[in-house]
Amino acid sequence: MAYVSVNPNDGKTVKTFPELTDEQLDAKLATASKTYAVWKKTSYAARTAIMAKAGELMRAHVDKFAKHATIEMGKLINEARGEVKFSTDILSYYAKNGERFLEPQKLRPSFGEAHMESSPMGVIFCVEPWNFPYYQLARIAGLHLMAGNVVVVKHAGCVPQCAIEFEKLWIEAGAPEGLYTNLLISHVQSDKVIDDVRVAGVALTGSVAAGRSIASRAGQNLKQTSMELGGSDAFIVLEDADIEKTIPWAVWGRMYNAEQTCCASKRFIVVDSVADKFLAKFKTALEALTPGDPMDEKTTHGPLSTESALIDLLKQVDVAVKHGAKVLIGGKRIDRPGSFMQATILTDVAEDNPAFRDEFFGPVAMFFRVKDEDAAVALANDSDFGLGGSVFTGDVARGQRVASRVETGMMFINNIDWSDAELPFGGIKFSGYGRELGDMGIQAFVNKKLVRTHDMVAPLV
């Protein structure tokens, strides 16, 4: 694959980067393996110092990092700054809490004493997407490096400068060579990394197709994996919801991050008695967004990450319409330079429409009208995905009951505050398995070893 930085705001190529040769790749894996042999024995205090320094350096250069994200994948500049700051929070969080999360856990067997120890596994191969070019990296580096592992990372082909800058960060923070390694490699080379005996585990954030391919390859090698895949999250609005407070969340939930987020709100499921009011206000709010240069702070509607992403999304909408869906607003590209698409609302999406089970990775919202709460939950659960979801209601206890009934990895009541460093993130069904962040995330690639002491007479043979 090619590593090319193209500005989606104007379609101009910024810079192209060559892939590693097989010899260069082997050398980097050898270095990572040697570094692991030392890093796994490195004290938590020494790990913390490097982790904390990396966070401090990133925080000191927010604008530099943010600009790369905006130029390479079209993220609105203020959202890019927010992502960089959140990434520093993750690094700081694990610098502070990593050792505590991995302390030995005392058990209480019927006889003797026992505890669980946590120890690192080795070199972890991470395959990461472009939509959060720093956050995706911070949430693997913070966890796995503090656990004593080392990471080698294949980032997406359209954000090579973001990937390179993040690798430089660790060198500047005092990390040994091979602790964090960026790999500009092809898909064929990626398979070779998974097969390599020096690699202990594989973590992916990406599409369902990528998950199937990479998990299968890792499984053939009996290697531990974590998979964070796509989503088609339900945004449930009950009849007692405060619509004025709900609409801003609906707009943010669908349009944040250049409309390209795995856990974004994609299926808007609204109880009939408030459906007309919600839809009218949602439509008005989306139509008020202003497309433009994502470097301009006044812009509220940025481009898609690449021209191919735009073309694929337009095809999805066309297929949906051919199968009976109606376009309430949008559905076309915006007549201006760059890879821009109109904010779109699809209605009348029937169960036999391919769109019903698709994930739209862009500014396309599907609207569904249902008769009551039970119907809303049933429709929310009628999905191949299960990453996140939300419910809006005037009764928090009711919202908690609905949240418990929806089959998904995460649910949010009267908000869509997707991710915090201290909270686990992940899904079920086609949305993958495993959790990142929080105290669960750091356990993903560690050996949980039982140690038992029992002074007893050996059994007779």
How far is it, in rounded angstroms, from Cα 127 to Cα 63?
25
How far is it, in rounded angstroms, from Cα 439 to Cα 161?
30
Task: Name the residue among 404, 394, 347, 376 with its Cα closest to residue 270.
Answer: 376
Look up residue 171 and give its two tokens.
């060198």
Q: Which residue among 158, 162, 262, 263 is the active-site one?
A: 262
Q: Is 262 a catalytic residue?
A: yes
How far is it, in rounded angstroms, from Cα 54 to Cα 141?
10
Q: Is 228 a catalytic residue?
A: yes
Look up residue 67 and give its two tokens.
């600009």
Look up residue 40 and give its two tokens.
């796994």
How far is it, in rounded angstroms, from Cα 75 to Cα 65?
12
Burial tier of 257 (Cβ tally within 10 Å: 0-12, 13-18, 19+):
buried
Q: SS3 for 294?
A: coil
Cβ partners under 8 Å of residue 5, min gap 6: 13, 14, 15, 16, 17, 71, 72, 158, 159, 160, 161
Cβ partners under 8 Å of residue 72, min gap 6: 5, 6, 7, 14, 130, 133, 158, 159, 160, 161, 162
Residue keyed to tokens 């939509």: 131
Q: Which residue among 165, 228, 359, 436 is the active-site one?
A: 228
Look up residue 147 and give its two tokens.
């656990």
Look up residue 18 and give its two tokens.
């060559």
What's the residue count for the chain? 461
Catalytically active residues are: 228, 262
